[in-house]
A and B are shown apart, each in its own frame.
Chain A
Amino acid sequence: MMFNWIERWTTTEHERVREDLSAFLDGQLSAADRGRVERHLQECADCRAELASLRQTVSLLRAVPAVKLPRSFLLPVGEARQPARVQRRSWGYGYLQAATTVAAVLLVLVVSGDALLRFQASLPAYGLLRAGRSSPEALSAPATQEVQPVSAPRVGFQASPLVETPATAQQSTGDSQALMTGPGSEPTFEPPTAAVAGGAAVAQPASVPPAPQNAQTPAPQAQPSAESVHSPVPPAPPAIATSAETSVAPLDKTVQPRAALAITVVVTITRMPEVQPTQAAAQSVPTHTPAQGASEPQPSSAAELPTAVPTALPPADTPVPTGTPVPSIAAPLPSQEPARVAAVASPQPEDDQSHKAGGRSLSETAGWLAVVEPWRPYLPWAERGLALLLAALLGAMLVVRRRRRP
């Protein structure tokens, strides 16, 4: 029994050592285990042989020659860069897309803003007209001019309301003054302003004379027209005047340009026919032009405007004793118009239509056309630049896409 026990113990020790020989060979045993193995090796020839054979085996394995690479395993450029490239491209492409979108939005904004500017230009024009009316008196006209240049160039939307507000303010003052100062025209003017709601429309006839002065060319004609205007003016309902004045009051403060804008827009839309949009636009344009200066179209428009105004005026005043320079567009005077129309390139069609149609509907269409037709961008360089930029971006996107696909 004892021997058996001893034998069993020795065998297990022997087996344990055999298992450790591999690690012993590699020097991976702890100090204690190493000592135990070394002691056993001294006693056990089998284990010594085992260790020797294992050592030989390992040396054989280490002598195994390396195999040549069948090929290079470098990631092919396309595949290797795929993750990185995809990211980069998507980044670049994303930027391109974003830039293109921004450019497109900007272009739309500028163009639409320009259109709005032009549209509003008609409104401020009324104001200007009034201002002009007051201008003869002296102070009002210059004031309006100053205000307009500053506001108009900066922001199309806001600028116009600002412009209007002073104008309207002046209108109210101008009306009152007109009553005071204006010879025959002033009394007539008051009702028109009221009708216009903004007062601008009605004011025009009265203001027309001054506006031309500002514009330079039409000024002399305008004065006579003012007298003629008196007759057309009456159509505007005096009842509206009160409301118009109330609305005007806030505008004068220029604190709420948006409200003013909304009002003016509404007024223009509703009252366009009566208001003589063409004139308004014409007058407004010149005022804006000086401020912007750089923009080419403006000067031309300015030139047109003065001429246009007179044409428009005659129709408004059907009676038209003086006939020629009456500012009111509403009632077109056929006789004078054609000649003037010829002078004014763009506005002609409008005037013609309005004449043919006669009445308010005609005048309305004329007004809208006036707004739409003379497309003289206020920011020509911005629009051109943006358009070019947009084209370039789109081209770049196309190029990138093409590169991507192959």
Chain B
Amino acid sequence: MDEQALVAAARRGDAQAFNTLILNYQSLVYNVAYRILHDEDAAADAVQDAFISAFRALQTFRGGSFKAWVLRIVVNACYDQLRLTKRRPTSSLDEMLIDPDHSDIVADGAETPEEYAIRQDLGRAIQAGLDTLPPDQRAVVVLSDVQELSYEEIAVATGVSLGTVKSRLSRGRARLRDYLRDTRELIPARYRLTNEAEL
């Protein structure tokens, strides 16, 4: 059953079809929400709300990328969450180190425990950098570089123009690059940014 058929069935009220769609996208959607919110519970709430409201608003889906359409709902839910909780954009080092969420990263079957731990550290460091970005840049960076969506999908998911996506992504990447450079020691050696001098 392809996606369009599933969407059509879900639009007719077939919750089973919609759950199939959720199975396809819940990991992506949750990861986006988590990277934007950096809070497991808040992300889970945003995702659940997004799927429910997506199911209800399915009549307004006018074709195109269902993934981008769902992501837009989630991203907006995340913006709402950030606005409501007024979370601090930056988390302290202590918080970052204690943060239990990062033990929950998906294990790669082939990697050793060491590699897993290293990736965990990397994720932690990157997340800290993402937290420093303003939400709109953070969302674009996460969608583009963590989830590797196309510019067009990002434009739909964030509800802005392609040009805006480009500029936000450019600024977000530069800002994150600056943060990572400033916190080199927190990043696993393997992933550390090379010094400009080394270029």
Contacts and interface: CB of A to CB of B under 8 A. Distances in A.
Contacts of B18: 75, 80
Interface in A355-378: none
B52 A61 contact: no
A43 B40 CA distance: 47
B166 A53 contact: no
Interface string B178-199: 0011000001000101101001
Contacts of B55: 75, 80, 83
A69 interface: yes
Q: Main SS of chain B's interface residues? A: helix
B106 A74 contact: no
Interface in A79-112: 79-81, 83-84, 87
- Among B15, B122, B126, find the residue whose CB has the most chain A CB atoms closer than 10 A: B15
A64 B15 CA distance: 33
A50 B196 CA distance: 8
Interface in A193-232: none
Interface string A29-61: 000000000000000010011101110111011
Contact of A75 (B31, B51, B141, B145): B51
A54 B146 contact: no
A49 B170 CA distance: 15
A393 to B, nearest CB: 26
Interface stretch (A18-26, A128-136, A340-348): A18-26
Contacts of B145: 57-58, 61-62
B105 interface: yes
Contacts, number: 133
Interface in B159-180: 166-167, 169-170, 173-174, 176-177, 180
Contacts of A19: 167, 170
B122 A64 contact: yes
B101 A57 contact: no
B27 interface: yes
B13 A84 contact: yes
A87 to B, nearest CB: 6
A65 B106 contact: yes
A399 interface: no
A5 B106 CA distance: 54
Interface of A: 19-23, 26, 28, 45, 48-50, 52-54, 56-58, 60-75, 77, 79-81, 83-84, 87
22 contacts: A19-B167, A22-B170, A22-B173, A26-B169, A54-B177, A57-B173, A57-B176, A58-B173, A62-B145, A63-B191, A64-B123, A66-B27, A67-B123, A73-B22, A73-B51, A74-B22, A75-B22, A75-B55, A77-B15, A80-B19, A80-B55, A84-B12
